Structure 1
């Protein structure tokens, strides 16, 4: 996982998820919840076509990779608009743009699903008897101060799963190589006081040490190791080759590259 940045430019935010359009969607949501509470509807009606409008921008912001496992999705999968806080629990955040990120189907559907461990009390849901549409969450184009307040309210819950849009996940983790099994695993950083808690969440909710990931990461690590060792042997290789190796390391650490978080870690210790 690497840190991501959410664009607040009006041209990047789907118009259907802000302003008056968002208010209309929240009113639909409130009406649906009220019908469920009154017994006239079996379950809350969520419309995936609403959050589907966000996929293109979210995918761009996560560099065509899953925001959780950093695997590329552009070639082999469509990817999902993932609700960081699951809509089955946090129904009022179903159409909240700030609750979305781009995820591969395996992290989202096979592992995370409705899981969302927290270390404090769950957020209190809005009182539908008094809440007004437009007040359920936060307009993505609202003032910065309102976003800060909104994030502080969410932070009180002490979510165990890091949100790469809200914090840099990298300090929680280290990476370990097994050259016999040809795997690279993610592990808790013993120097971070919250690492064990966060690691358990990503392991349980996202399966970040699933076999396929460990093997793929090893291939990237092996390539990185070759260019890293090459860059350190000025006594053996030409200046041009050394520079090529240095340039390739910079490329592999770039956010656009798969498993950049892992490469950054190994570059810092090798």
Structure 2
């Protein structure tokens, strides 16, 4: 994974990040199942567009061009399963190809770039 310079936070996150995080954390704290309509808000089209822009439509892990063959997956640098309060944090989001996403598991490296 190469170092990326984060672009500007999308307006939707400027406006909604705190509200979305508070709502998500209520579910986490209660132990209730998190509806995808709440937990998956990071998939908003404006967020994805900004991530594609800052990576030049390349996978943040393997640097392959993704948009000509794949939709691209929004990734959490620190896994959302472990750091729920960063689910919508702009500095915790990037984009990857589906192959790296499937191979990386909950770590921050895809299988093709794991340190030996």
Instruction: Return the TM-score normalized by structure 1.
Output: 0.38
2:111 & 2:107 partners in 1: Cα distance?
12
| Paired position in structure 2 for 1:47 | 39
Residue aligned with 1:208, SS = helix
Deviation for aligned residue 1:61: 0.9
Q: Deviation string for 1:120-169 (max 9, x for gaps)?
A: xxxxxxxxxxxxxxxxxxxxxxxxxxxxxxxxxxxxxxxxxxxxxxxxxx
Runs of 4+ residues deviating >3 angstroms: 43-46
Query: Counterpart of 1:18?
Result: 14
Unpaired runs of 5+ in structure 1? Answer: 117-204, 210-270
Contact 1:86-1:115 within 8 A present in 2 as well: yes
CA RMSD of aligned residues (A): 1.8
Is 2:83 the partner of 1:87? no
Question: What is the CA–CA distance in structure 2 between the aligned matches of 1:7 and 1:89, rounded to whole Å?
Answer: 25
Matches within 5 A, 1:121-270: 205-208=109-112
Contact 2:59 2:66 in 1 (8 A): yes
1:6 aligns to what SS in structure 2? coil
Q: What is the aligned partner in structure 2 of residue 259 from structure 1?
A: none
Higher RCO (C-alpha under 8 Å, 6+ residues apart):
2
Q: CA deviation at 1:23?
A: 2.0
Larger radius of gyration: 1
Indicate if the aligned counterparts of 2:103 and 2:110 stay in contact, CA closer than 8 A: yes
User: Partner of 1:64 in structure 2?
Assistant: 57
- Which residue of the other structure, out of 89, 99, 106, is the alignment partner of 1:114? 106
Shift of 1:95: 1.0
Paired residues in the alignment total: 109
Residue in structure 1 matched with residue 7 of structure 2 by the alignment: 7
Which consecutive residues of structure 2, in runs of 5 or more, have no partner in the other structure?
Answer: none
Following superposition, the deviation at residue 113 of structure 1 comes to: 2.4
Distance in 1, Cα, partners of 2:104 & 2:2: 18
| Corresponding residue SS for 1:101 | strand
1:31 corresponds to which residue?
Answer: 26
State the TM-score, normalized to the length of structure 2: 0.82
SS in 2 for 1:57: helix
Task: State the alpha-carbon separation in 1 of the partners of residues 79 and 2 from structure 2.
Answer: 21
